[in-house]
Structure 1
Amino acid sequence: MTRYGYFLSTEEHGPAELLRQARMAEEAGFEALWISDHFHPWLDEQGQAPFAWSVIGALSQVTSLPIGTAVTCPLVRTHPAIVAQAAATSAVLTGGRFTLGVGTGEFLNEHIVDARWPPAAERLEMLEEAVGLIRRLFTGGLVTHRGEHYRLDTARLYTLPDEPPPIFMSGFGSKAATLAGRIADGFICMMPDADLVKEYRHSGGEGKPVQGGLKACWGPDEARARETARRIWGSDYLPGEANQLLPQPRQFRQLSQLVTDDMVAAQVPCGPDPGVHERALRAYADAGYDDVFVTQIGPDAGGFFDFYAGEVLPRLRGGRPAGPHDSP
């Protein structure tokens, strides 16, 4: 049975609000949490970018839900050894409820350390080497490494969980799905693409979990919800490689002016109709995803959680009660 989780957006919310939303998500009947890991938001309109690892530590103390990053880039801004240490500590704090989601990242976040931005093929090579290093460090042994992209000198993690956290890899194309099948414990994709799921499974991911995520904008007025989604997340609907190559939120804002409400409506469930939201999430389950994570766009998290607990999650689960906010 598909598991439904909530996606905590560090681009839109500060630390205290993220903790509040995590508690509401658990009360509403969501079964897991994702958290984004960015240095910058995509648009200044989003307005936030707290350090995800600090928030994860706090989350471990206020919720019993599993937590995963969606996703961390262990390539440029943060060395794989530091990511390994952060992930191991997070796994200890959560009692083994942590999953490290990794990906090849975006220039938006990685350029801040004044490093070159490698082409996509090289970033995949770097990710493969980084994941190998992280797994070696998870063993607790002394690691010295002289590789193509990274070096380590007698590094050892002393704080380790009983079992190493699983490593999931994000991908949006055939090459990434194939690599994920070889090196990852699970696959993450932000679109309901059955062909990519098959590619992942045929490349070594058979029997391993696949996770997907999407944004929604609940609100009593559908047109206003569409406008809210476009204003806050217009950058999501830009075609091509802009999301990987632009360095500044203001540049995303400039291009986002080309995005229309109709373009948003084609991809984001908006408004008060539970059937619209149900169909958007069910598309991932139908495409073979094991876990589906959704986030609310905009400030009305309370209304979203009441709506999903009372009307959407019970539909997805065939009428099973979703939590204390269920409609009478």
Structure 2
Amino acid sequence: MHEMTVIARDAATARSLLGIAPSGMATRVVLLGEQDADDVGGLPADRVVVAPGLTGHDPAALGPSLAPLLAAGLIVLDSGQPARDLAGWLCASLDLPLVWAVERLGRAPDGAIEAERPVLDGGHRLVQRLPAGPAVVLARPEPGPAPAGRPVVERSAAVPGPSALTVRPLDGGAAERARGPAGARTIVSVGRGVGGPDAVARYRRLAELTGAALGASRAAVDGGWLPFAHQVGQTGATVAPDLYVAFGISGAVQHTAGMRASGRVVAVNTDPDAPIARLADLVIAADANEVADALLRRLEREG
């Protein structure tokens, strides 16, 4: 296995994913959509392919045009929902194995590639030996600095082909259009403690007024309050915003595994001793909906 290909939609995500590359492995990045030349030129990879025409989230349309740009080796994507969909297409169409929730890749003494990931609610680490051939890896890298590089940069004229999928939105409402948390610098996130689906509208409005993304705990997503694309946690998106505001979220380990790298955490909860408080820089011991309504009144009054 001589090369690793990172597939990403922006240079920041690509840089993070390159951080898990095994020592000495050649690295290639395929960036989907138009990119800033300065960001691309500093990626710590051997080669970068920018494909401005490959946009959208339909894996059946992207996959056939994307596959020829990939090296015969590891294919690494982030763990967000669009990347999961694309990974599924690659595995099914190219007959590749899948490894998920990987935080680090390394080499065994005999040269084989090993993947390390958390198991049992993060209390243990599993080191898994990868098959000798190509494989798809969904990664959850730990945030950290990455060195600058001088890759060979090329542009691809590839464009999506026709899709074999029929897409039908579940409800077509505002919840489907709200921006998900992956890559956001500020996140307003809701959990079971906000009460129910009728309460979510105020948090969507709060996110709109503050330029934040809307996140959710697994309990809120499982309850049908928000689509899966908004879920933060071990089985959702891993985020590292500058500010994470958790409304009515108790902070189970499955949730905090996805947001513990946040720069600042504000927890709004009636229980000041909830697990989320151990991660929080500020704890507001109050009803989440009352605090959200007060913030909305202030923001709307000040325009």
Pair in the same fold by TM > 0.5 = no
Instruction: Work out which of the two has the higher radius of gyration on C-alpha atoms and give 1 or 2.
Output: 2
Higher fraction of helix: 1
Q: Which has the higher contact order (CA 8 A, sep 6+)?
A: 1
Higher fraction of strand: 2
